[in-house]
């Protein structure tokens, strides 16, 4: 990696196996009937690109195109089957709602646990605790077990922790899929602070309006391959997410999970 490169994805391939039958009995019957027991597919197929330090990337594509798999490889949660992913500096972000939370621990305790997983020291977490708690807007539920939280509450807490980590790279997947409009707007404003502070931002979104506001480049994945890599408006046109209403797309149009 050169000194200006933040993320290098070089000929990356990642495959998964789909199993059609769950129990041993079902698999045995299927085998006797010469039915398929499983099938492999490539979630990512020879993906390559370079992201410079401080760039804001909108990662777009239909559900199942490989966006979340790519983010997990960048974050180090998964390893590629082929090729390599290189990153520079500390990575933070919200890849899945409530990921890393212990359901029997309170929100307060999970702040310390999740922050430690993201590389924050206890002293650093103590210093930022009030800001995290205020951002999450959990009120009295901060001292309730996270297992009792709604998906929206878990999402708010996860984002509040991740956005307060001092990182070089921030990954945002499904950040705005859960929650009311004021909270989504607060998340976008905080992400703009991250971007303006010179951090590298990779933002998965189905909402053309927020991608236009947040990003200076778009990468579109199609069935695990890079279909487009370039200017924001051209990328939005390529993926056909533009609703044609003068660019004022509803920022609530964050869709659900991806592979």
The rounded mean pLDDT for the chain is 84
Asked, for residue 147, whether it belongs to a domain, the answer is no
Highest mean pLDDT among 65-69, 114-118, 174-178: 65-69
The number of folded domains in the chain is 1
Asked, for residue 43, whether it belongs to a domain, the answer is yes
Asked, for residue 148, whether it belongs to a domain, the answer is no
Q: Which two tokens stand for residue 128?
A: 């930022």
Asked, for residue 208, whether it belongs to a domain, the answer is yes
Q: DSSP for 2-47?
A: -TTEEEEEEEEEEEEEEES--SHHHHHHHHHTT---EEEEEEEEEE
Is residue 99 over pLDDT 70? no
Asked, for residue 136, whether it belongs to a domain, the answer is no
User: Which of the pair, 136 or 155, is modelled with greater confidence?
Assistant: 136
Give the pLDDT of residue 17. Answer: 77
Write phi, then psi, for 17 (nearest 5 degrees).
Answer: -110, 125
Residues 100-129, mean pLDDT to the nearest whole number: 92
Give, in degrees to the nearest 5, the angle at Cα 80 between 75 and 82.
150
Is residue 214 over pLDDT 50? yes
Any idea what the CATH number is for the domain that residue 234 is in?
A: 3.40.50.300
Is residue 146 over pLDDT 70? yes
**pTM (2 decimals)?**
0.80
Is residue 170 over pLDDT 80? yes
Give the pLDDT of residue 248. Answer: 40
Tell me: the pLDDT tens digits for 229-241?
A: 999 999 999 988 6
Is residue 247 over pLDDT 60? no
Give the pLDDT of residue 103. Answer: 92
Is residue 28 over pLDDT 70? yes
Give the pLDDT of residue 21. Answer: 56
Nearest to 160 by CA among 230, 196, 203, 110: 110
Asked, for residue 184, whether it belongs to a domain, the answer is no
Q: Which domain holds residue 53?
A: 1-27+38-89+202-259
Asked, for residue 207, whether it belongs to a domain, the answer is yes
Asked, for residue 111, whether it belongs to a domain, the answer is no
CA 181 from chain centre, in angstroms, equals 19
**Dist CA 45 CA 47 (whole Å):** 6
17-31, 35-49, 58-72, 174-188: the lowest-pLDDT one? 17-31
Give the pLDDT of residue 171. Answer: 92
């Amino acid at each position: 990696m050169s000194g200006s490169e933040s993320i290098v994805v070089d000929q990356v391939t990642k495959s998964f196996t789909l199993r059609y039958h769950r129990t041993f009995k079902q698999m045995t019957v299927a085998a006797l009937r010469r039915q398929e027991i499983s099938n492999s597919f490539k979630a990512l197929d020879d993906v390559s690109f370079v992201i410079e330090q401080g760039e804001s990337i909108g990662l777009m594509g239909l559900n199942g195109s490989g966006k979340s798999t790519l983010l997990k490889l960048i974050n180090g949660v998964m390893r590629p089957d082929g090729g390599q992913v290189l990153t520079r500096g500390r990575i933070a972000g919200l890849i899945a709602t409530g990921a890393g939370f212990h359901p029997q621990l309170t929100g307060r305790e999970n702040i310390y646990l999740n922050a430690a997983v993201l590389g924050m020291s206890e002293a650093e977490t103590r210093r930022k605790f009030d800001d995290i708690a205020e951002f999450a807007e959990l009120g009295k539920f901060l001292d309730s077990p996270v297992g009792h939280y709604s998906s929206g509450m878990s999402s708010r807490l996860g984002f509040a922790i991740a956005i307060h980590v001092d990182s070089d790279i921030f990954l945002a997947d499904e950040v705005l899929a859960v929650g009311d409009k004021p909270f989504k707007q607060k998340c976008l404003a905080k992400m703009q602070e991250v971007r303006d502070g010179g951090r590298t931002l990779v933002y998965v979104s189905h909402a053309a309006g927020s991608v236009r506001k947040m990003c200076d480049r778009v990468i579109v994945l199609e069935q695990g391959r890079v279909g487009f890599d370039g200017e924001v408006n051209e990328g939005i046109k390529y993926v056909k997410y533009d609703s044609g209403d003068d660019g004022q797309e509803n920022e609530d149009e964050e869709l659900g999970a991806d592979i």
